[in-house]
Amino acid sequence: MDTVQARVECHRLEDLHRLAAKAEKGGSRILHVDGTSNHVATSARSPTCYAVTVTGCTCKGFQAWGRCGHWALLLSELGQLPDLEQDVVVDGRHSERCRTCKGEGYVKAHTGGGLNDWAAVPCDCTRRVA
C-alpha cells in the first residue's frame, strides 16, 4: 500500500467516524428488523426510514456520495468501523495512518541551528507496533 492510498483510506475512515457521530447526535437510529438480518435507519430530518446494510443505504446521500451517516452508524454499531488510532502494519512497516510521520517510520529531529542539521529518528508509532 503506497502512502497516497493509505492517506485516502485514513481520510475515508475519518469521514465515516465523523458521519456516524453526526448521525447519532442528530437523532438517527439503527433498528433491527425482528426475525431477519435486515436493518433500517431512521432519519433525524424526516419521518422516512431507509434500508441499510453493511454495503450501503437507500438514502439520497449514499446514492450521491457513496457514504452517509446511516451507513456509518450501522457499521459503528456492528463493530465494523475500525478505530482511528489503530496501527496497521503493511509490508513489514509500521502504521500507514500515522499523522506524525505520514507512513515513513521516522521523523526529522533537528540536531543544530542550520536548515540541514537534522537526523532521522524512529517515530513513536514504530515503537508501539514493534
Number of domains into which the chain is organized:
2
Contact indicator for 2, 15 with CB cutoff of 8 Å: no
Rounded Cα distance, 26 and 32, in Å: 19
Residues 72 and 41 in one domain: yes
The answer as to whether 118 is a domain residue is yes
- What range does the domain containing 106 cover? 95-129
pLDDT of residue 8: 75
Same domain, 11 and 69: yes
Statement to judge: residues 73 and 103 lie in one domain: no
CA proximity to 23, closest of 70, 76, 61, 55: 70
* Same-domain status, 37 and 99: no
More confident residue, 34 or 119: 34
Number of helices (H) and strands (E) in the chain: give both, helices first: 4, 8
State the average pLDDT over residues 107-120. 68
Q: Is 19 helix (H, G, I), strand (E, B) or coil?
A: helix
Highest mean pLDDT, choosing among 80-84, 101-105, 113-117: 80-84
Please check whether residues 60 and 12 belong to one and the same domain. yes
In a domain, 82, yes or no: no
Q: Does the residue 66 lie in any domain?
A: yes
